Structure 1
Amino acid sequence: MPDKQQQDALTAVERAMVAIRRSQTRRSLGRLAPPGEERPVDPTLFGVLDAVEDREGSCSVTDVAAALGVDQPRASRLVLRAVEEGWVSRRPDPADARRALLALTADGRELVDRTHRFRQQVFARAMAGWPDADRVEFARLLTAFVEGFGRESNSAAGRAD
């Protein structure tokens, strides 16, 4: 069993993660969209765009489903909406004609780039009073936490299968 200080740290991390999750509502995410959009971008589609960007060149609907933690039919509907918005294109996979590969369109790439810049500005303002070394250390620790949490989640999913 962890000592009191370690248990307090785990409790603080758990509470912070819950607070982050609760703050990620459609409304709050909509406020974190780049200003000047003709119409607000549905935050549920950001996940599709992020997933396609992460696997640029080899992304399928199955990959989007896995990235978003949704079933295949839900991912298909979200991808279709992104295609209809003009942000994602589909083309046949040369290795498997039954599978479609997804890619960001020029408009989708521009939206993703603009969103990245805007999010980074929001994060910079949130850490404005931090010393530079703390920002660097936070980035290192948060990245390590996310990677470790991903491994644990994947391991737990494997045990459930």
Structure 2
Amino acid sequence: MSERERKYQETGPDTAVEDANAAAVERAMVAIRHSQTRRSLGRIARPEGAGAIDPTLFGVLDAVEAHPGPCAVTDVAAALGVDQPRASRLVLRTVEQGWLERGSDPRDARRTLLALTPAGRAQAEAAHRLRRVVFAQAMAGWSEGDRTAFARLITAFVADFARTVADRA
């Protein structure tokens, strides 16, 4: 932890500017969350001529894909911020779609491990491409420098936010 982070934990924000910045970030994050609703993502995540795909299932694919090493339902639950029964239902739906397969853990036969199927990997890649297109369109009017700075800052924010939340848990 940096000296500034330690001081902030002990005393809170140093200035009204930091409070205003935190408030602006909070409002932006709420707006992002609201714009990422199941309905809006379902509209943009639909390939031409295809039926709607539940975006929550993409969250399961993202969780399995991003997990370092073998992934269990408990890992999916933690990544999605849901309880185990909800994660189990989402995993089951994703298995039924043919995007995930279940296997047993060679070290613990009671534990089930999840892996992307080739169809699941294709779905995940399609979702990544679509999201990148939408994000690029949203930033189309920005300068290259602004896009680069935003990518750097949001990546740092996400990492620092995850660390802050983990430290408070």
Report the counterpart of residue 50 of structure 1 in structure 2.
Answer: 62
One-letter identity of the residue aligned with 1:87: W
In the alignment, which residue of structure 1 is the partner of 2:21? 9
Percent of pairs identical after alignment? 62
One-letter amino acid of the counterpart of residue 53, structure 1: E
* CA gap 1:103/1:89 in 2 versus in 1, 3 angstroms: same
Instruction: Give, in whole Å, the separation in 2 of the partners of 1:77 and 1:154.
Output: 26
Q: Structure 2: 5+ residue runs without aligned partners?
A: 1-12
Indicate the SS of the match to 2:104: strand
Cα displacement string for residues 106-137 of structure 1 (whole angstroms, at most 9, x for unaligned residues): 11111110110011000001000111111111
Residue 25 (str. 1) matches residue 37 (str. 2): yes
SS in 2 for 1:41: coil
Map 1:2-151; keep pairs closer than 5 Å. Answer: 2-36=14-48, 38-55=50-67, 57-151=69-163
TM-score by length of structure 2 reads: 0.87
Q: Distance in 2 between matches of 1:56 and 1:151?
A: 17
Distance between the aligned counterparts of 1:134 and 1:52, measured in 2? 32
Gaps of 5+ in 1: none
**Residue-pair matches, total:** 157
* Cα distance, 1:149–1:33 mapped onto 2, change above 3 Å: same
CA distance in 1, matches of 2:80, 2:16: 36
Output the amino acid matched with 2:80.
L
State the Cα distance separating 1:11 from its structure 2 match: 1.5
Most deviating of 3-12 and 97-106: 3-12
| RMSD, aligned α-carbons | 1.4
Higher relative contact order (CA 8 A, sep 6+): 1
Contact 2:46 2:53 in 1 (8 A): no
Distance 1:57 1:89, change over 3 A: farther
In the TM superposition, residue 81 of structure 1 has moved relative to its aligned partner by 0.6
User: Which has the larger displacement, 19-28 or 107-116?
Assistant: 19-28
